[in-house]
Amino acid sequence: MSLRVGVDIGGTFTDMLVTDESGDARLYKAPTTPDDPSIGLMEALERAARDRDVSLDAFLGEVEAIVHGTTITTNAVLTGEGAVTGFVTTKGFRDVLNMRRGLKARQFEKYAPPPPLIPRHRIHVVEERVTVDGEVMTPLAEDDVRTAARLLADQGVEAVAVSYLWSFLDPTHERRTGEILQEELPDVYVSLSTEVLPQIRVYERHSTTALNAYVGPVLRRYLVRLREELAGRGFGGTLLIMQSNGGVMSPELAQRFASHTLLSGPAGGPLAGVFYGATHGLANAITIDMGGTSFDVSLVAGGTPTVTTEGEIGGHRIASPVLDIHTIGAGGGSIAWVDSGGLLAVGPKSAGADPGPACYGRGGTQPTVTDADLLLGYLDPAFFHGGELTLDVEAAKTAVGGIAQALALDETEAAAGIYRVVNANMAAALSVVSIQRGHDPREFVLVVAGGAGPIHAAEIARELEIPLILIPRESSVFCAVGMLISDLKHDYVRTYARDLDKVDLTEIDSLYREMADDARATLREEGVPDDRIETDYAVDLRYVGQFNEVEVPAQSGGEVTAEALDAMVSTFHARHDTLYGYSMPGAPVELINLRVSAHGVTDKPQFSTVEAGGGDPSAAKRGERRAYFDGEFVEVPVYDALRLANGNVVAGPAIVDQPTTTIVVPPGFELVCDHYNNFLMHPEGRDLAELRTQLVPEDARLVAAERS
């Protein structure tokens, strides 16, 4: 039997999902070991092997693929513990990297800027210059490179990034610099911007390349060790690493393009949205993940998660494509406070996991969202995280009491206020990824990951009139499922800046072909057969004179004809109108970037379905609890999520306890257990079949075009 394993290394737990060909899927957990995450990973594998009564070696011998999501690079950046890195750039431009385009995010506050990834004394300049036309204005001074290499050696660098002006037009200088550095510094990790991101915009290219070098050695060390360990225990399958763009890649590639993993932590979320949506034939989904300190939202349209090139980590830009995950500071640990004008605010400050909410009894005294959820009766103080923690109601009361006093409300009203404000903040975050980008949330299913999400989901959905909510039975599976369904994916970009009436179709063709050939070669190296390779083409267009582009698919595939170009321009006008409230048909349009995104399609795990039972949920009822709905406490039934069976219907108001979280079913909603034993929630009286017609799978891009 061949097994597939998805591993998601979270802050606290390493979650592992193991699936087989029969559709059996089992979840294992082990504590995360931050110093060396592979220990926790191996422990989870041990647990999976024990569960099957086989040795680890025997178990691993049957594993065909391990898909691994790692936050080791992310943590390195956030804690400033990446490699000692140097930077080599064009003379005269030493500080473009650290200027970070001269912006301060919170303009009126006094605070220190994010520390530079690479301090100025490790940034070395080299005489060389390519012009806007791609011509060499100043030849590369190889002596400068050698001098820089010697200084970098003295500085003890483990990695060097190289990024020159206009290098994507003529990569010769960068390549030669790379050769010299490899000669002089054979053990040092070298990243060239022309390999990492050959695309216009200096700071964005610098920063992406610098990040790649900064985390490259960290990931390389980790992967080398992990692969040795796995191989030593009989693993002969494929190890795949999760990327920020929602695809996976081989460890060899991951070591070269380590920066592609930086935002991969939440990338399983949108993919899980694709998967869970598909279980009901739905191609449009909004996924939410409410953790302790933050709330992640993403949107899947037409079965495809949305992608952005505006990623950021620790104040540093990543301009390579990443899944578009919008994050705000709203989580269970978010602190509620009353501002100097007497208005209630929630977040973005968080009590985090330590000390955590007041009710954790670990010394936290500030009122948090979790404290409010507890006082409102949504959480069971005796059964939090499956009984791992007993919540201190008195501590929550005291904490929320402070807020209540300032607002002249009682504790319950204040708690309800916190609940409402945080719900509204989260709903606003959903509107950023949907309404503001031209999508109507009423056409989407809301897929809710674990954490505190299911406590708040119904109210968020109500705010945006989202008609259907889907909550996986075991929310920890969420990201791991996303990983198991992901394809190998590689993105390529070439800047080709021309007025549309001056483009040379054969040049476009050859650039596309070059990227597609690269893509195929890479995927073949990763073992993907040709018939499993899919290639998407796109262009970045803008009105002449604009400074930002709109990405438009090249519908004809790689071969670009004049007609195909016209079609892209029409799509561009329509998309511009939807996004920005106007378009200018007839105004000149220019092309900036050509993009290719190549997938190596992987086998998707199958999950087994369950027989339908009756609608009566009473077998799963485990008691009653007083909870706050519509302005008063009422006695509501409490159900055990794990005992609810396919077809069971729970009418609100009710509470469904899951092992690690709670689903709140408010009055006016009902919850149904589906054929995968996941939960659907929707307004009472709505019929699932009817909802499905509202949520019919559709290509959001086409929808946008029609609407304009």
Partner 1 sequence: MARTTEVDRILVSVIGNRFDAISKEIGQTMLRTSRSPIFSEARDFVTAIFDREVRLVAQTAYIPILMGAQPYAMRSIAQHFGDDVDEGDVFILNDPYRGNNHPPDVTVVKPVFWEGELLFWSMSRGHHADVGGGGVAGYNPGARSVWEECVRIPPAKLYVRGEPNQALWDVILINVHLPFLVEGDLHCQVGACNIGERSLRDLIAKYGKETLYAALEQMFDASEAQMRAVIRDVPNGVYTGERYIDHDGIDKDRMVGVRVELTVEDESITFDYSESDPQAAGYVNSTIGNTTSGSFLALFTSIGSEVRFNEGALRALDVIAPPGTVANAAEPAPVTANTIDAAQAIIEAVWLALAQAVPDRVDAAWARWCAPATMGFNPRTGRPFGDIHFMAKGGAGASQGLDGWDHLGTIVCSGGLRSPDPELHELVDPYTVLQYEYWPDSAGAGEWRGGMGTTYRFRVDAPGIPAAHFGGGNRQATAPFGLEGGLAAPHHVLALRKAGGEVIEVDTESFYNLDVGDVYELQVSGGGGYGDPRRRPVEKVQQDVRDGLVSPEAAESLYGVVVDPVTFEVDAAATRGLRG
The only residue of 439, 576, 599, 701 in contact with partner 1, by rule CB under 8 A: 576
For position 39 contacting partner 1 by CB under 8 A, the verdict is no
In the complex, the smallest distance separating the C-beta of residue 297 from partner 1, rounded to whole angstroms, is: 14
Q: Which is nearer to partner 1, 104 or 643 (CB)?
A: 104
In the complex, the smallest distance separating the C-beta of residue 476 from partner 1, rounded to whole angstroms, is: 31
Q: Write out the two tokens for 62.
A: 């049957």
SS (H, E, C) 1-31: CCEEEEEEECCCEEEEEEECCCCCEEEEEEE
In the complex, the smallest distance separating the C-beta of residue 545 from partner 1, rounded to whole angstroms, is: 4
Beta bridge partners of 624: 637
- Judged by DSSP in three states, 563 sits in helix
In the complex, the smallest distance separating the C-beta of residue 548 from partner 1, rounded to whole angstroms, is: 4
- In the stretch 387-416, what mask flags binding to partner 1 with x, by CB under 8 A? --------------------x-x------x
Q: Write out the two tokens for 137.
A: 């204005």
Q: Which is nearer to partner 1, 588 or 623 (CB)?
A: 588
In the complex, the smallest distance separating the C-beta of residue 47 from partner 1, rounded to whole angstroms, is: 44
For position 95 contacting partner 1 by CB under 8 A, the verdict is yes
Cβ neighbours for 225, distance < 8 A, ≥ 6 positions apart = 36, 38
Q: What is the CA radius of gyration of the chain?
A: 26
What percent of the residues of the chain are helix, what percent strand, and what percent coil, each to the nearest 5? 35, 25, 35
- In the stretch 174-203, what mask flags binding to partner 1 with x, by CB under 8 A? --------------------------xxxx
For position 113 contacting partner 1 by CB under 8 A, the verdict is yes
Cβ neighbours for 88, distance < 8 A, ≥ 6 positions apart = 123, 124, 125, 126, 145, 148, 160, 161, 162, 163, 177, 181
The only residue of 53, 388, 530, 547 in contact with partner 1, by rule CB under 8 A: 547
In the complex, the smallest distance separating the C-beta of residue 18 from partner 1, rounded to whole angstroms, is: 42
For position 119 contacting partner 1 by CB under 8 A, the verdict is yes
Beta bridge partners of 471: 679
For position 156 contacting partner 1 by CB under 8 A, the verdict is no
Q: Which stretch binds partner 1 (CB under 8 A): 262-270, 282-290, 421-429, 646-654?
A: 421-429
Q: DSSP string of 388-408?
A: TB---HHHHHHHHHHHHHHHT
- In the stretch 322-341, what mask flags binding to partner 1 with x, by CB under 8 A? -----------------xxx
- Binding-site size for partner 1 (CB under 8 A) equals 66
The only residue of 417, 441, 453, 482 in contact with partner 1, by rule CB under 8 A: 417
In the complex, the smallest distance separating the C-beta of residue 164 from partner 1, rounded to whole angstroms, is: 11
Q: Which stretch binds partner 1 (CB under 8 A): 19-27, 59-67, 117-125, 473-481?
A: 117-125
Q: Which stretch binds partner 1 (CB under 8 A): 264-272, 290-298, 425-433, 532-540?
A: 425-433
For position 92 contacting partner 1 by CB under 8 A, the verdict is yes
For position 420 contacting partner 1 by CB under 8 A, the verdict is yes
Which strand (E) or helix (H) includes residue 289? strand 285-290
The only residue of 35, 53, 103, 562 in contact with partner 1, by rule CB under 8 A: 103
The only residue of 137, 153, 612, 688 in contact with partner 1, by rule CB under 8 A: 137
For position 163 contacting partner 1 by CB under 8 A, the verdict is no
Q: Which stretch binds partner 1 (CB under 8 A): 56-64, 111-119, 483-491, 517-525?
A: 111-119
Backbone angles phi, psi at 448, to 5 degrees: -110, 120
Q: Write out the two tokens for 556.
A: 């004809």
Return the closest-CA partner of residue 268 out of 12, 475, 46, 541.
475
Cβ neighbours for 687, distance < 8 A, ≥ 6 positions apart = none
Is residue 477 within 8 A of residue 581, CB to CB? The reply is no
Give the C-alpha distances (Å, rounded to integers) separating 688 from 263, 673, 692, 696.
Answer: 35, 12, 6, 12
Q: Which stretch binds partner 1 (CB under 8 A): 46-54, 170-178, 246-254, 573-581?
A: 573-581
Q: Which is nearer to partner 1, 104 or 513 (CB)?
A: 104
- Judged by DSSP in three states, 273 sits in helix
Cβ neighbours for 30, distance < 8 A, ≥ 6 positions apart = 13, 14, 16, 40, 41, 43, 44, 46, 47
For position 707 contacting partner 1 by CB under 8 A, the verdict is no
The only residue of 1, 50, 78, 101 in contact with partner 1, by rule CB under 8 A: 101
The only residue of 52, 94, 176, 686 in contact with partner 1, by rule CB under 8 A: 94
For position 93 contacting partner 1 by CB under 8 A, the verdict is yes
DSSP state of 280: T
For position 586 contacting partner 1 by CB under 8 A, the verdict is no
The only residue of 12, 79, 131, 618 in contact with partner 1, by rule CB under 8 A: 131
For position 601 contacting partner 1 by CB under 8 A, the verdict is no
Q: DSSP string of 160-223?
A: EEEE-TTTTT-THHHHHHHHHHHHH-TTSEEEEHHHH---S-HHHHHHHHHHHHHHHHHHHHHH
For position 362 contacting partner 1 by CB under 8 A, the verdict is no
Give the C-alpha distances (Å, rounded to integers) separating 559 from 505, 508, 518, 537, 678.
Answer: 9, 9, 16, 9, 43
Q: For the beta carbon of residue 229, count every other beta carbon within 10 angstroms.
A: 15
Q: Which stretch binds partner 1 (CB under 8 A): 113-121, 142-150, 188-196, 484-492?
A: 113-121
Cβ neighbours for 301, distance < 8 A, ≥ 6 positions apart = 283, 284, 439, 699, 700, 701
For position 436 contacting partner 1 by CB under 8 A, the verdict is yes
The only residue of 224, 231, 497, 688 in contact with partner 1, by rule CB under 8 A: 497
Residues that bind partner 1 (CB under 8 A): 92-96, 98-99, 101-104, 107-113, 119-121, 131-133, 137, 165-166, 200-204, 339-345, 407, 409, 416-417, 420-421, 424-425, 428, 431-432, 435-436, 497, 543-548, 576, 579-582, 584, 587
